[in-house]
Structure 1
Amino acid sequence: MQTSWAAVDAPADLAGALDRVGYLADEGLATAAFLALRMGRPLFCEGEPGTGKTSLAVALATALGVELIKLQCHEGIDATQALYDWDFPRQLLHLRALEAGATGPLDSDVAEKSLYGRRFLLARPLLRALEQAPCVLLVDEIDRADDEFEAFLLEVLGENTVTIPELGEVRAAVPPLVVLTSNRTREVHDALKRRCLYHWLEHPDLVREIAILRRRLPGIGERLATQVAGAVRRLRTAELLKPPGVAESIDWAEALMTLGRSELDAAAAAATLGAVLKYREDAERTVAAGLDTLLAG
């Protein structure tokens, strides 16, 4: 059941809407997301990988019944990849068609104007979000982009408008709900953070992780959910290259269920360790420390 964008009157309403689509948000996160929605401010979510930052944006779009538009950041990303670009192959074909159909010299001004119409514009995620709002715009892993892209993004999100020289101004009728995520591989500049609401996402506590497992895997037994959640929490305190997140917790539990296991013992853990640990060094360190020790809690 979807919740109307306008029907969210309190953080509890939003938490309930997220709950109905399978995302269990604590009070702090539900409040931050509600304020971002009502104040028209971006929500900047930082935290370790696997804490549910990206999943939050997906759940918000589903719960609110709007489109999710994702901008995946990476090193070297620029404005043309994020905002818009021109479809040069189609423009070239159009120009050749004009030349072929002309009975005399081609008017260069008319030809140029026809080349830069809306049908030749390739809308990238930022422009699509401005045109299609209300929507949820996910700017994923902003910490992977460079300083120049941050400054560009700051300008677009601050005004919710962009000017295309050939076509004019595009302004969002309703500001998109923007969720920016960062795994903190580098510090994002204060100028961007100041314009956002901020929330740090922790890994869920034991009770909430069990609840997440039972929500995402309805057939899981209480004992298996408790054992998996407890073992994953102990793995997160170990010296691992990549501590498991909630996604790995779900994968591990699902792998065990697929094998018909109703509880987690050392043999089952050894057979399915690749579902929760994704580095050889982490798996070797865990096995060397003893799987019985991992499960003893």
Structure 2
Amino acid sequence: MTADAIDRPPASVDEVAQLLASRQYIAERHLSTTLYLAMVMGRPLFLEGEAGVGKTEVAKALAAGLNRRLVRLQCYEGLDIANAVYEWNYPRQMIEIRLAEAAGQASKDRLEADIFTDRFLIKRPLLQALETTDSGPPVLLIDELDRADEPFEAYLLEVLAEYQVTIPELGTIRAERPPLVVITSNRTREIHDAVKRRCFYHWVDYPDKERELAIVRCRVPQVAETLSREVVAFIARLRTMELYKAPGVAETLDWAASLAALDKTVLDPEAVQATLGVVLKYEDDIARMNEGTIAQLVNDVRADAAGMR
């Protein structure tokens, strides 16, 4: 995408895929289509899937590809308006009041007009996302919404429906141009239908072996070709096992880079055993990987890797 085209929506699904690929995100066709429609029709994009499959990276690649500011709201239990939308800078307001009193300008109405202004307003991500800059409206990433409490979802509806925030002391602040909104969820709990109805939905699954190999080649090009194939094949085998947490794409990339740092060009049982903590993050899963299991997996993936393109 050329520099003079960064402030318009992509013209096609292929252009969306090319935009993401230019930022090292290899998207499957269904995701590119859903993202294209969300951008053209001005709807938020709701991405759901297991942790580590690349949901957050979609927003990052989109912002970088469009040369727009990324505004990220990381959700967590107890997230409230003060941390998500805005709060007043109370220490500065108190200083202003004391200075006014010392100068004999302590009129209540005048003080209220002076201290409840934009210069005392601390803008949090949702309010920041309503501001358009020279490069266009920002990309708003609402990350891991499932970690926030349900009352926060209810508040979010106003933002998603009208792209506006109401501040009692100032009134309603509306976006001159709506931000591009990407919402992610790891599905630790169900998100309310009222939120989902306002969004276009896409389930981000683990990539197939061919696409994951393309991702490894793109993101960690220093890894030997044979090792890349074997790492991808090994990860695919792990995902078919009864593990507490199957490895995501992030673990695939970390593992490939780690093995390359150890000067490995092919998988061997000793290297797998030594680096299991890069791939598996729970002791019970690691304990299942005894020497016999690892040796069998390494032997199996060599045949799998040979058939990969």
Return the TM-score normalized by structure 2. 0.92
Aligned match of 1:40: 42
SS at match of 2:289: helix
SS at match of 1:244: coil
Q: Percent identity?
A: 50
Query: 2:120 aligned with 1:120, yes or no?
Result: yes
Question: Is the 1:138–1:179 contact (alpha carbons within 8 Å) kept by the matching residues of 2?
Answer: yes
Query: 2:226 aligned with 1:223, yes or no?
Result: yes
Amino acid at match of 1:199: H
CA distance in 2, matches of 1:32, 1:187: 21
- After superposition, the C-alpha distances for 1:54-113 in whole angstroms (9 at most, x for unaligned) are 1111111111110111111111112222111111111112212222222xx621211122
Aligned match of 2:71: 69
Q: Where do 4+ consecutive residues of structure 1 move more than 4 Å? A: none
Deviation at 1:199, TM superposition (A): 0.3
Question: Is the 1:131–1:170 contact (alpha carbons within 8 Å) kept by the matching residues of 2?
Answer: no
Query: 2:112 aligned with 1:109, yes or no?
Result: no
- After superposition, the C-alpha distances for 1:162-206 in whole angstroms (9 at most, x for unaligned) are 222222321112111111111111111111111110000110000
CA distance in 1, matches of 2:280, 2:7: 38
Deviation at 1:218, TM superposition (A): 1.3
SS at match of 2:130: helix
SS at match of 1:219: coil
SS at match of 1:71: strand
Return the TM-score normalized by structure 1. 0.95
Amino acid at match of 2:215: I
Gaps (5+ residues) in structure 1?
A: none
CA distance in 2, matches of 1:277, 1:56: 24
Alignment of 1:255-266 (within 5 A): 255-266=258-269
Amino acid at match of 1:263: V
Question: Is the 2:97–2:106 contact (alpha carbons within 8 Å) kept by the matching residues of 1?
Answer: no
SS at match of 1:5: coil
Q: Which of 232, 237, 246 is equivalent to 1:243?
A: 246
Amino acid at match of 1:186: R
Aligned match of 1:180: 183
Aligned match of 2:158: 155
Question: Is the 2:209–2:232 contact (alpha carbons within 8 Å) kept by the matching residues of 1?
Answer: yes
Gaps (5+ residues) in structure 2?
A: 302-309
> Which stretch shows the higher mean deviation, 124-133 or 27-36?
124-133
- After superposition, the C-alpha distances for 1:125-181 in whole angstroms (9 at most, x for unaligned) are 010001135111011111111221111101211001122222232111211111111
Query: 2:17 aligned with 1:8, yes or no?
Result: no
SS at match of 2:26: coil
Q: Which of 252, 255, 264 is equivalent to 1:252?
A: 255
CA distance in 2, matches of 1:111, 1:171: 26
Q: Which of 63, 66, 88 is equivalent to 2:90?
A: 88
CA distance in 1, matches of 2:147, 2:176: 30
Aligned match of 1:145: 148
CA distance in 2, matches of 1:67, 1:289: 50
- After superposition, the C-alpha distances for 1:245-289 in whole angstroms (9 at most, x for unaligned) are 000000000000111111111011111111111112211112366
Q: Decide whether aligned partners of structure 1 residues 212 and 127 sit closer, same or farther in structure 2, where only a CA change above 3 A counts.
A: same
Deviation at 1:238, TM superposition (A): 1.4
Question: Is the 2:9–2:40 contact (alpha carbons within 8 Å) kept by the matching residues of 1?
Answer: no
Question: Is the 1:129–1:137 contact (alpha carbons within 8 Å) kept by the matching residues of 2?
Answer: yes
> Which stretch shows the higher mean deviation, 281-290 or 183-192?
281-290
Query: 2:205 aligned with 1:169, yes or no?
Result: no
CA distance in 2, matches of 1:239, 1:122: 47
Question: Is the 1:84–1:121 contact (alpha carbons within 8 Å) kept by the matching residues of 2?
Answer: yes
Question: Is the 2:247–2:279 contact (alpha carbons within 8 Å) kept by the matching residues of 1?
Answer: yes
Question: Is the 1:83–1:125 contact (alpha carbons within 8 Å) kept by the matching residues of 2?
Answer: yes
Aligned match of 1:129: 129
Aligned match of 2:306: none
Aligned residues: 295
SS at match of 2:129: helix
